[in-house]
């Protein structure tokens, strides 16, 4: 069965036409998992039994003439920080190695309600702390294009699973650029909507004012379609946008002309790999040929976003990880200390990796008495300036386009002795994440080593349709 990189809708039509069954479709993707999982390490856990049960249910529905959703029976992957009843949710940290989800994340539940078929829970940087998956307690996820390279992070397992055709699409989460970055380095589309469009309920928290679920897929249509299912107001998450339903896939259009595209000079300077810059400029020229107007804009330098993100995110990490004490959420060792506090200290010391410890300690320091005003409060003020900077830019342009990542995927080992690798790797995505803007990374080719290059498109808050349409123009009128 040739299902390589088919879209959700094309596979759905084949299922309805009974060209193959959902179980046969699942087995074809599981064959890909068997063929490449040992070299790529995409999954923390495989959920074959649950997947077979879901696929069998879809086949029964089709046979009885019942309608199925577009994602019904389509193999997918779920990042291992999304709760799913009866499965382990480790966030790739050994301190949660024996934690079994007692409830479903809202994103998980909405997909299960649509008869999604999850082949497994994907690897990630532990607690989403990183941009390479090298902080995972379960090993790094290799890049399908070159297994000596990283796949990106923190949603690296999700990206590699889709790129290696182990799943049709995958759910990831983004705090700084953890959907867009892996998408760029693995040659995929990676979409993260406005903060609050997708519920965070049931997702292991990293930075609560930044986290947002997203989608990794092989095309814009799939990103839009899956977002249509998972997005919407959630009574469990007060930060969700009060809109019950969206229909981005139905409204997709590549007919826009006269777009004003902002090109930040700070995104194409000497800090960016020349091949990456050159490729993005080529694509911008193609937009111009289609009638777009390219407008040079001047944004706050990414170095300010790096500084703000480092302080704000680490502060929220410190708060969120305080609940992971090794007692309520799994434990590390049978060793017993004299007091509960000593036991917590031991469990956290043994259970957390260096990245979690460093981020927690840095965050606690920034929030401590005497330093709160100097660091955290000041960072939030600069964050407001970044938001205002984008608001001013969008008075001049419709969308902003630039490279997703400053380089192509680096070799494994890049994070060794480099505690700020993640922040520096995400330097081009952090400012839009701090502002909660809808963003998508699109694959724009490869460099001279056949490593993928990503280009990101982002727009004002709540402008998901415009961002998706701009990406759709690229996919259908430029990339073809």
Residues belonging to the active site = 79, 154, 178
Between CA 183 and CA 408 the distance in angstroms is: 11
**Burial level of 448, CB count in 10 A (0-12/13-18/19+)?**
exposed
Closest CA to 215 of 236, 198, 238: 198
**Burial level of 302, CB count in 10 A (0-12/13-18/19+)?**
buried
Alpha helices in 322-429 (DSSP H): 340-351, 354-367, 378-393, 421-425
Q: Which residue has the tokens 């990796």?
A: 353
Closest CA to 62 of 73, 51, 71: 73
Cα→Cα distances 42→58, 60, 123, 321, 332, Å: 26, 30, 5, 25, 24
Between CA 158 and CA 227 the distance in angstroms is: 16
Cα→Cα distances 77→45, 90, 225, 468, Å: 11, 15, 15, 22
């Amino acid at each position: 069965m040739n299902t390589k990189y088919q879209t959700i809708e094309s596979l759905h039509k084949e299922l309805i036409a009974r060209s193959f069954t959902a179980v046969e479709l699942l087995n074809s993707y599981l064959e890909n998992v068997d063929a490449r999982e040992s070299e790529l390490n995409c999954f923390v856990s495989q959920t074959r039994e649950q997947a077979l049960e879901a696929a069998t249910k879809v086949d029964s529905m089709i046979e009885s003439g019942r309608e199925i959703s577009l994602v019904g029976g389509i193999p997918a992957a779920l990042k291992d920080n999304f709760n799913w009843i009866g499965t382990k949710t480790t966030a790739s940290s050994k301190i949660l190695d024996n934690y079994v989800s007692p409830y479903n994340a809202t994103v998980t539940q909405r997909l299960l309600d649509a008869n999604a078929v999850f082949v497994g829970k994907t690897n990630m940087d532990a607690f989403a702390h990183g941009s390479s998956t090298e902080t995972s307690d379960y090993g790094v996820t290799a890049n399908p294009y070159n297994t000596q390279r990283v796949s990106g992070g923190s949603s690296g397992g999700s990206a590699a699973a889709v790129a290696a055709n182990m799943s049709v699409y995958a759910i990831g989460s983004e705090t700084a650029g953890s959907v867009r970055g892996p998408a760029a380095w693995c040659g995929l589309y990676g979409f993260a909507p406005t903060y609050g469009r997708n519920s965070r309920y049931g997702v292991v928290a990293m930075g609560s004012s930044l986290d947002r679920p997203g989608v990794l897929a092989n095309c814009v249509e799939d990103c839009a379609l899956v977002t249509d299912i998972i997005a919407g107001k959630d009574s469990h998450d007060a930060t969700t946008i009060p809109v019950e339903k969206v229909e981005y896939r139905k409204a997709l259009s590549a007919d826009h002309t006269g777009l004003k595209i902002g090109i930040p000079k700070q995104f194409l300077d000497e800090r960016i790999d020349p091949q990456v810059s050159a490729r993005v400029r080529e694509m911008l020229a193609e937009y111009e040929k289609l009638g777009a107007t390219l407008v040079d804009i001047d944004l706050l330098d990414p170095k300010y976003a790096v500084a703000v993100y480092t302080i704000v995110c680490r502060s929220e990490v410190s708060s969120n990880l305080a609940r992971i004490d090794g007692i309520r959420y799994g434990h590390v060792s049978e060793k017993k200390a004299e007091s509960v506090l000593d036991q917590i200290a031991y469990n956290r010391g043994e259970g957390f990796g260096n990245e979690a410890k460093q981020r927690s300690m840095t965050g606690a320091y920034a929030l401590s008495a005497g330093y709160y005003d100097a660091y955290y409060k000041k960072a939030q003020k600069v964050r407001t300036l970044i938001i205002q900077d984008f608001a001013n830019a969008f008075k001049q342009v419709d969308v902003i386009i630039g490279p997703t990542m400053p380089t192509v995927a680096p070799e494994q080992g890049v994070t060794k002795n480099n505690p700020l690798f993640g922040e520096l790797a995400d330097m081009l995505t952090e400012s839009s994440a701090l502002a909660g803007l809808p963003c998508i990374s699109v694959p724009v080719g490869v460099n001279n080593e056949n490593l993928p290059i990503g280009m990101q498109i982002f727009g004002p808050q709540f402008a998901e349709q415009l961002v998706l349409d701009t990406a759709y123009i690229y996919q259908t009128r430029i990339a073809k």
